[in-house]
Structure 1
Amino acid sequence: MRKVGVLLLNMGGPDSLEAVQPFLYNLFSDHDIIAIPRLIQKPVAWIISHVRAKKTMTYYRYMGGKSPQKEQTLEQAQKLQEVLGDGFLVKVGMRYWHPFIEEALQEMESYPLSGLILLPMYPQYSRTTTGSSFNEFDRVFPKSQMSFLPVVKIQHYYDHPLYIQAMVENIKENLPNWQDYFFLFSAHSLPISVIKKGDPYQFQTERTVQLIMQHFPGVNYALAYQSKVGPVKWLQPETEKVLEDVIKRGVKKVAVIPVSFVNEHSETLYELDYQYGNMARSLGVEDYVRIPTLRTHPTFVRCLADLVLSHALQHQLIGN
C-alpha cells in the first residue's frame, strides 16, 4: 500500500551547547535570510557565528543546554501521524540542524509513497522561513530516489479556521480570567527591506491577530515584533518597547501571546519568559503571563490534519 509522505518543515535548533556555533553558521549561510554576496557569504557566516556563539550559549544554558524544538516538532509529527493513520507517513525535516531536510528524505526513501506534502511549522508565510525551507527542499530533492514523485507545498495557514480556533482555545485555557488582561501579541521580526520586496508576512500576521481578537471583545491589545538582529531597520513596534510603554501607562496585567511560533525555543523561553518577564516585573506589573505555544494542542493537530487531507485530495494523492 502506497502512502502519502508528509514532511513537517521547521527551523531546528542546537541540541547541545557544542552545536550552537555550527547551527548559527548554517543560519547565517542562508541567503534567504541574509542577502550577503554569495561569494563571501560562507566566510562572513563563519565570522558571525563565532562572534555570536558565546552570547547565544547563554540563552541555551538558561534553557537547559539545548533547544526543545526538535523534540516538540517530533511530538507534533507523532500526533499528526496518529490522526492521519496508516495511509500517511509523517517525518520531520529541519532547516539548520538535525534532522536536516535531506536526512528526512533519505529516511522516507524506504517507503512506497504516492507523493509528498510539505507542511511548514510557520502559519504565516515568509521567504525567510517557509520560503527558505522550500528552497532547501528544491535543492536536495532532485538527488533523492523519490525525485519522480509529485510534491505539494502548503504555503500558509494564518487564517485557517482551526488554527484561529486553536489559538483562541489555547489563550482561554491558560488565561481563564482573560477579560482582565492586556494582550500583547509577539511575532518574530523581519527587516523592512524584506517586506518592501513583497513578503506577505506582516499582513498575514496582522490578519491572524485580527481574527483571534474577534473572540475577545473589549480586550485591549497590540501586535509587536521581537528578535531583531543587526543595524538595519526591522518591523516596528518592538515587543520590549510596547511592553514597557503599557506598564508605564498603568497596565497591571499583561498576557504575552507568541503569534508566529508553534514551538518553544530561545525566542519564547529566553526572550519572552526571562528577559521581558523580568523587565515587566521590575517595572511593577502585577501579573505577567506568557501564553505557551500551540505545540500538540488537539485543535492545532486537527488543523494540520485538515491541511494535509484537503491538499492530498485536491492534488489527487488520495482518492475521494
Structure 2
Amino acid sequence: MQKNKKALVLLNMGGARNKDELKMFLTNMFNDENILTINIDFIRSIIANFIVKKRLDSAWENYEKIGNASPINPLTEKLVDKCNEKIEEFKTYQAMRYTPPFANDVLEQIKKDGINEILLFPLYAQFSTTTTKSSVQDFIGNIPYEGFTVKYIEEFYKNDKFNDCIVNEVIRNIDDKKEYNLIFSAHGLPQKIVKKGDPYEEQMNEHVEILSKKLDEKGIKFKSINLAYQSKVGPLKWLEPSLEDMLKNFKDENVIIYPISFIVDNSETDFELDIEYREIAHKLGISEYKVCRCVNDSDEFIEAIKDIIKN
C-alpha cells in the first residue's frame, strides 16, 4: 500500500525495442480510430494490415540506424525514476499506447499498490485527438472496475517552467558568434483531422509565439523563427509547410531545429531529424544544421511537471 499517495501516469505513444515490437507498434497505431479515421473496424483492420506489411521492412531499416531500438523506452524509464524520487505525493508510472507497458498492466500494478486516485499526464504539450485523446481514451477504457478517480492534464504548452526548459535547450545549442534560423519542427497531421476541429495546429502556432516572445525577452536574436511539420506519410494533404520545404530557404545559412511536439526523444527525433533531415540539409547546402534534444528526464522538466500538476 502506497500510503496517501496518488498515481501519476505518464502517457506516450511508445516505441519499438526490436522488429517484433515495431510490427506491434505499427499494427496498433493504424488500428487506432483516432489515427486511421475509418468508422468500420473490419475495414480499418484490413487497411492497417496492408500498410504494416508494406512499411515494416523499410521502417526497420531506419531503426537499425539508431541502434535497433527507440530511445523513448530507456529515457521514459529514467523520467519515471526521477519523478518517483522527487515528487513525493505521487507514485509515478508510465503507460504506452502502442507498445508495452500497456494501460491494463499499469492499472493492475496501481491496484496492487492500493492507489485509487489517478492523474494522467500525456507527454504531449499540445492537445490532439491523435495523441492526447487517443492515449487518455485508451487508458480510461481499460479500467475494468469502479473505485478509481481519474483526472488528466489536457495540455501544458503555456506552462512557463516548461517553456523555460525549451528556451534553455535552444540557447545551449547556439554559438553566440553565429546567426541562426530557428525551426520548431512538429509532427505533422493530415489537414482533414484539423478541419474536423482538432486544435493541434492552432495550439502549435500559439506555442511558437510564446517561445518567440520568451527568447526575445532574454535578448536571444535569430535571423528567423519558423514552424514546420515533419513525418508526412501517404497521399493526403498534411499541415504545411513541410520541414523539407522550409529547409530549402536556408542555403549557406545556419539552422537549429527544436522538436516542439515531442517531450521524450524517439525515432522521429533521432532518425528523422538527426539523420534523414540532416542529409537533406547537407544536400541543400545548409552551412550548419543542429538538432536540440527533447526535455527528456532533465531536472528542469521535473520541476515543470511539479508546477503543471499542482493545480
Question: For 2:177 and 2:212, how far apart are their aligned partners in 1?
Answer: 12
What pairs up with 1:228-243 in 2 under 5 angstroms?
228-243=232-247
Instruction: Report deviation, 1:175.
Output: 2.2
User: CA distance change for structure 1 residues 246 and 176 in 2, over 3 Å: closer, same or farther?
Assistant: closer
Please name the residue that 2:49 is paired with: 46
Instruction: Report deviation, 1:30.
Output: 0.3
Instruction: Report deviation, 1:231.
Output: 0.8
Instruction: Report deviation, 1:137.
Output: 1.3
Question: For 1:118 and 1:176, how far apart are their aligned partners in 2?
Answer: 38
Question: For 1:300 and 1:177, how far apart are their aligned partners in 2?
Answer: 25
Give the unaligned 5+ runs of structure 2.
none
Q: Secondary structure at the match of 1:273?
A: helix
The TM-score with structure 1 as length reference comes to 0.91
What RMSD, in angstroms, separates the aligned Cα atoms of the two structures?
A: 1.5
8 Å contact 2:27–2:49 — kept in the other structure?
yes
Please name the residue that 1:156 is paired with: 155
Please name the residue that 2:141 is paired with: 139
User: CA distance change for structure 1 residues 204 and 178 in 2, over 3 Å: closer, same or farther?
Assistant: farther
Residues 17-44 of structure 1 deviation map (CA, whole Å, 9 limit, x = unaligned): 2221121101100001111232322222
Please name the residue that 1:88 is paired with: 90
Q: Stretches of 4+ moved more than 6 A in 1?
A: none
The TM-score with structure 2 as length reference comes to 0.93
Please name the residue that 1:24 is paired with: 26
8 Å contact 1:272–1:290 — kept in the other structure?
yes
Aligned length: 303
Please name the residue that 2:173 is paired with: 174
8 Å contact 1:172–1:178 — kept in the other structure?
no
User: CA distance change for structure 1 residues 79 and 126 in 2, over 3 Å: closer, same or farther?
Assistant: same
Q: Secondary structure at the match of 2:130?
A: coil
What pairs up with 1:1-320 in 2 under 5 angstroms?
1-36=3-38, 37-85=40-88, 87-141=89-143, 143-144=144-145, 147-177=146-176, 180-217=179-216, 218-219=221-222, 220-247=224-251, 250=252, 252-310=253-311
8 Å contact 1:188–1:227 — kept in the other structure?
yes
1:22 partner letter: M
8 Å contact 2:116–2:147 — kept in the other structure?
no
Give the unaligned 5+ runs of structure 1.
311-320
Q: Secondary structure at the match of 2:59?
A: helix
Residues 261-282 of structure 1 deviation map (CA, whole Å, 9 limit, x = unaligned): 1111121111111111112122
Instruction: Report deviation, 1:176.
Output: 4.5
2:170 partner letter: I
Please name the residue that 1:313 is paired with: none
Residues 164-196 of structure 1 deviation map (CA, whole Å, 9 limit, x = unaligned): 111111111222428621101100011111111
User: CA distance change for structure 1 residues 84 and 178 in 2, over 3 Å: closer, same or farther?
Assistant: farther
